[in-house]
Every structure is written in C-alpha cells, then in structure tokens.
Structure 1
C-alpha cells in the first residue's frame, strides 16, 4: 500500500486554483472535505490544505504534495483511475468552470516548508478552521536565483514573521515534464510562492496596514519580478490540515 508522504518529504507540490460556477464553492468544499482527503492520501499523496479565497467568491484553492515526480504519476493514476473519483467526479466537475490553473512547485530550499502545521479535523467538521493563509505568487523574470532565495530567507521571511505570521513556507517552480497530462499544469513560468499563516484576518490586516512589507521588502524585491505579485487571502476549510 502506498505511503502518505510527510510534509518535509513532499519534494513536489501543486498549487491548484479552481474557478467555480457561481454559488458552487460550498458544494465542492462539502464534497472535497468528505470524500477526497483520506482517499487521496491512501494513494500516496499529501493533501496539505484547502481554502476559500476571501476576495474571489468563486475560487477554491488547494495544495497537494508528493514524494517526487514518479510518486506523483503513480498516485494520480491510482486515484483518478479508482472507484472514489469515479463515484464523485461528475458532482465535482459540475461545480467547475476551470481546473487547469495549476503550478508545479518544489521547496525553494531544503527545509523551506517544513514548519507548516498539518493537523486535520475529524470527518464531519464543518465551517472554517482557524487562521488565514496569505499565499502570494511572485512572478519572476527567470528561475529563482540563489540571490533571490537569500533575500527571501534574510528579508522576506523575517519581515513576515516580525509582522505576526506564525509560520512561513516558500516554494519555487519545478520544471519537470508533466507525466500525468490528464491534469494540465502551467508550463514555462517562473514563480516563487510564499505562504504566511496568520491568526486571522485582523492579524493579516494589521501587518498590511503597518507598511513593513513596502518599507523593508518591496523595493529590493522588484528587480526579480516580471509583473505584480498575485496575492490571495485564504480561509482554511473545516478539514484543512494547514490552519492556525
């Protein structure tokens, strides 16, 4: 039987953003939290967290990890070729306008994501788990350089933590060919994904209003960016393993 990788063992991570039909996000969340967590993990992947985007009412965002590309192929073949997906795919797909907005990522450096909490509520939980995840996609001119990653470790992460983030994690683009083309990924893009877990919206708002990011990070970061960052305020679902 496949082994579910721990978060530190997830050398490949997908950031998946699903655009849904109006009014269908709660339908998908109920189905996802009930049917698609333990069943995916039994096939050898890790569902890191799933979220409501507070600023985009028809967006469902989730993170999924694998021990490597070979393990990813095997796990996806098993799950999407198995009975659970067959039983529920029509209901899931009916909620979606687009499910192809997917970034294939790797930890930006060894240990860059090891500290994230992964504590999932039992089946049947409803509502929202505590905390708010600030997930920002930084679009880069080129693959993340050692100088950028040093800046991330020495300036970006410490600024977030000093501003109230309980945990931070960093992922960079992985250029491996997609060996499961049934599920497309965005290719040829260079990004850095920053995750910062705050206690809630008030804590994130206080950090934003402090101006610390603009004063201490933004100007130094700008030369690496190809366009404006893409920011998401993500509320964990009731059974998201990643929450405050």
Structure 2
C-alpha cells in the first residue's frame, strides 16, 4: 500500500468538469478485506473524493462489484499525463492522504489492479455525470456494466472494438457506451503501479437490472456482435464483465 509523508501542495490544477473532459483515465479495482467495503467508503466518501479533486483529479464513477462485495471499482480522470503526475504528487504527498491513508490502507488486500487509459480513436466519451447523491430514475441504484478486454500483443484487434464494434455494441445495448483504450505513455508515477498490456474498457449505465437484462438478451442475439466476439475469442482476447452498483458519491455518467 502507498505510504507517503506530508508535503506542501503545489498550485491547484484546473480540473475537467467531468470524466468526459479527461484525456487520461484510470480504472482502479481494489480487493478489500472481507466485510470492510463500508469502512473504506466512510473515509473515501467523506474525505478522499474532495481531497483528490482539490488536487486536480476528477472522479467519474465509484462502484461496488455486485458479484464480489469486497471489490471496489472506481474511475478517476486527468486533463493530461503531465497533469496526472502533478495531481498525484499533490494528493499523495498532501495532508488529506497523510491523515487518512492508514484507515484506507487497512481495508485493502490489493490496490494494484489498475488500467491507465485514454480516449479511443474515434473517441467514445461518457456523458454528463450524475450529481453526487442525486436520486436515480428509480428507487434502486443504477445498474452499471463495465467490460474490460485484454488484447494479446500483436493481434491489432483494437479497431474491431473501438470502431465498428462500438457501433454494434451500442446499438444492441440501446444506451450510450463510453470506451477507452490503453494509454501508451509510460506511467510517470511508478509508486502507483498500472497493469501492462493492451486493454479496451467500455462503460454503460442502465436504469435498473430489468433494462440491463433486456439489453443483454439483445446483445446475445445480435449476429453482428457474435461475429465480432468470435473473432476476438479466436485471437485469444479475454473479456471481463462487471456488474456495478454506484456508491452515494459515484458521479458516474448518466444513462
């Protein structure tokens, strides 16, 4: 776990209005000690959301994995790679993290499952964010889906997902689909490791489980998507599907 001391923060950075304005995005997946998710959220939502954003980051989705209650999945963005470095320095050497890091780190088994991402070409950016604490369209939290593909080196299949594949996927799901690809620049803040390799990540927000279930059936029956999925499978591309529940301060994109 990251352990750093205090340092005087540098000048505050201009923060993009939401995740759609961020050229660099991290998808962070933490494995927590059993039963400590709410304990982490107590400090994360009260202190660490605002603390990170004051340092120059934009949080754009915080979730509990519905299939693993001890997994915390969250997204944060930056205006650029240089800004990412400065923002991380400001926060992790600053007073807020220094005051709360021990409590946060005590809940974590692993915090190194991180993908460093950028917009696809063409870009498929997320929509405006739901305001923190705003009620959803139903009494239940939104049903958020994340897909993370890992592409073997030398397959050159990223365009199959980010081009025509995105069009087919979005049409079948019936909701906007945000998508990112691996940021090729070196990780300039190595004290926070990121995963190697080529990845594509998609995020879609549904009003509830029923809307997602209908979309999933359409996707399974879509011959165009099945052809893409077969091509990816034959090339050794793996995919992880995550069913996510927003936290109270999630600020995920609206459906």
1:73-125: CA deviation from partner (whole Å, max 9, x where unpaired): 00000000000000000000000000000000111135411424242228xxx
Q: Secondary structure at the match of 1:170?
A: strand
1:48 pairs, out of 51, 55, 60, with: 60
* Cα distance in 2, alignment partners of residues 72 and 104 from structure 1: 11
> Within the alignment, does 1:140 sit opposite 2:147 as a pair?
no
After the TM superposition, which parts of structure 1 deviate over 6 Å for at least 4 consecutive aligned residues?
Answer: none
- Which region of structure 1 is more displaced relative to structure 2, 152-161 or 173-182? 152-161
Gaps of 5+ in 1: 123-127
CA spacing shift, 1:62–1:43, aligned 2, 3 Å: same
- Partner residue in 1 for 2:72: 60
Does the CA-based 8 Å contact 1:148-1:224 persist in structure 2?
Answer: no
Q: TM-score, normalised by structure 2?
A: 0.84
**Number of matched pairs:** 233
* Cα distance in 2, alignment partners of residues 100 and 202 from structure 1: 33
- Partner residue in 2 for 1:199: 207
- Which region of structure 1 is more displaced relative to structure 2, 73-82 or 2-11? 2-11
* Cα distance in 1, alignment partners of residues 237 and 157 from structure 2: 15
* Cα distance in 1, alignment partners of residues 237 and 126 from structure 2: 28
Does the CA-based 8 Å contact 2:117-2:182 persist in structure 1?
Answer: yes
How far the C-alpha of 1:233 sits from its partner, in A, is 0.5
Listed as ranges, the matches of 1:114-193 within 5 Å are 114-121=126-133, 130-141=141-152, 142=155, 145-161=158-174, 165=175, 167-187=176-196, 189-193=197-201
2:222 pairs, out of 203, 215, 227, with: 215
Q: Secondary structure at the match of 1:196?
A: strand
1:144-171: CA deviation from partner (whole Å, max 9, x where unpaired): 543442223321121111xxx3x32001
- Which region of structure 1 is more displaced relative to structure 2, 74-83 or 224-233? 224-233
> Within the alignment, does 1:39 sit opposite 2:48 as a pair?
no
1:61-83: CA deviation from partner (whole Å, max 9, x where unpaired): 00000011100000000000000
1:11-47: CA deviation from partner (whole Å, max 9, x where unpaired): 1100000000000011111211111111111111101
How far the C-alpha of 1:4 sits from its partner, in A, is 1.3
> Within the alignment, does 1:71 sit opposite 2:83 as a pair?
yes
CA spacing shift, 1:204–1:179, aligned 2, 3 Å: same
* Cα distance in 2, alignment partners of residues 21 and 230 from structure 1: 22
